[in-house]
Amino acid sequence: MSWNKVAVVGAGLIKMGELFDQSYEQMAAGAYRAALASVDTGTPAIDAAIVATQRGSLWGQEGIGGNTVPSALGLSGIPCTRVENACPSGSDAFRIGAMVVASGVHDVVLVIGVEKMRDKSTQEGLLARAAAGHPLYNRGETAPVLFAPFATRHMHEFGTTPEMLASVAVKNHHNGCLDPYAHFRNEVTVEQVLSSPMVCSPLRLLDCCPQTDGAAAVIVTSAERAHEFTDKPVYVAGFGVATDHPYLHEKSTYVGLPATTLASRRAYDMAGVAPDDIDMAEVHDCFTITEILDIEDLGFVEKGKGGPASLEGETALDGRIPVNPSGGLLAKGHPIGATGLAQITECFWQLREEAGERQVAIRNGVALQHNVGGRGSGVSVVNILTRNA
């Protein structure tokens, strides 16, 4: 039996990309207005806000503690707290927003994710990762280093091929072409992926998500009040969070992300559903290998079969389990704090069958959203949504 105490009544995002002409505050306002505009009936009065931003300071104090955001949205005075939990910051903020509403303390909560990825140079962004962690161990670790070792080992143990990895990029770029909010809206071929420059072997440029500015927002309220705002609420069926050891040398396996397995098991149990019940999923594809690990760890395919499943189209829009119809992080982009909420927005549209050309078949009315991240995939968040009351 699904949890269903809280419902999403509005969701929206801004066009992702290198938004050099927009401030952090302007992006936030754009997402907020899009979410408000998506509400079918009336204008919900926002009681409180939770903001997800992974890097809190670009040049000063903006974003720190989340306290600067209400002012930018014309909501100065409401309580607002920032959530930072690495790449799943947005999805964890959503989970916390749902719990806040369920607690009865606040009725209508805005959960908003905003991330400025391109206001600093690429090198400074990369170095932020390369220098992270222990001062002497773990140096030289740019973002791809956190996932490429899994690709090496997955290839070694299961015979996963570069073509299988490339097929993920090809699919997600195709989906991105159908998503007006995506950063990249161009098709790529397997050959283009395989001939793109090597970034961090075995991952090439087109195996990697871009650095994207963006913002997304959702409005959640209690299941009881949801019908004041829409006839088609999307309920929070369940969620799960799990942690793992933060450093790569501490992993129990290099062919899976145990935090994802654990988080999804908790979410499935809470929602009372099984992987087979999921109609579509928005999962964390920061790199092609990540999506292959995800679909295995989430239980959509057997461990080791993620590569062939991707190559054979099982995760395409018309496949057995459509994955990342929005284009995913690879094509839509990965503005970190906003990413999870953009995924929630896609699930909201898909479950309401408002996703246009990229609409997938909704049979059971259940969607799954997932992020994984941290230094060595030390945290994973899974949210399960349903249109079934």
Starting at the earlier edge strand, list the strands of the sheet with 48-52: 80-83, 48-52, 108-115, 214-222, 6-13, 234-243, 379-386, 366-373, 280-282
Q: Find the binding residues for other proteins in span 65-124 (CB under 8 A).
A: 122-124
145 contributes a contact to other proteins by CB under 8 A = yes
Q: Which of 97, 144, 214, 325 binds other proteins (CB under 8 A)?
A: 144
We find the least distance from the C-beta atom of residue 308 to other proteins, in angstroms, to be 21
Q: Would you state the structure tokens that stand for residue 319, as one six-digit string?
A: 């496949």
376 phi and psi angles, rounded to 5 deg:
-125, 55
Q: How far is the CB of 24 from other proteins (least distance, A)?
A: 22
* Closer residue to other proteins in complex, CB, 63/144: 144
Regarding 202 and contact with other proteins (CB under 8 A), the answer is yes
Q: Does 197 bind other proteins (CB under 8 A)?
A: yes
One residue of 198, 274, 361, 389 binding other proteins per CB under 8 A: 198
Q: How far is the CB of 386 from other proteins (least distance, A)?
A: 36
Q: Which tokens go with 377?
A: 């995939």
Amino acid letter, residue 149? P
Residue with tokens 């994207």, as numbered in its chain: 212
Q: Which of residues 119-138 bind other proteins (CB under 8 A)?
A: 122-124, 126-128, 130-132, 134-138
- Per the annotation, the verdict on 209 as an active-site residue is no
What gap in Å lies between CA 275 and CA 124, rounded to an integer? 40
Interface with other proteins: number of residues (CB under 8 A) = 40
Q: What is the DSSP string of 323-387?
A: B-TT-HHHHT---HHHHHHHHHHHHHHHHTT--GGGPPP-SS-EEEEEEEESTTS-EEEEEEEES
Q: Using CB under 8 A, which residues numbered 313 to 372 contact other proteins?
A: none
- Candidates 142, 288, 324, 377; binder of other proteins (CB under 8 A) is 142
What part of residues 242-281 is at the interface with other proteins (CB under 8 A)?
A: 245, 247-251, 254
Angle 184-315-366 (CA atoms, 0-180°, nearest 5)? 100
User: Given 106, 154, 173, 334, which residue is catalytic?
Assistant: 334
Site string for other proteins, 150-169 (x = CB under 8 A): x-xx--x-------------
- Cα(10)–Cα(217) distance, integer angstroms: 8
Catalytic residue among 80, 87, 209, 286: 87
- Rounded-to-integer distance, Cα 122 and Cα 362, Å: 39
| 134 catalytically annotated | no
Cα–Cα distance, 172 to 202 (Å, whole number)? 19
Q: Where does this chain bind other proteins (CB under 8 A)?
A: 122-124, 126-128, 130-132, 134-142, 144-145, 148-150, 152-153, 156, 197-203, 245, 247-251, 254
Please give the positions annotated as active site. Answer: 87, 334
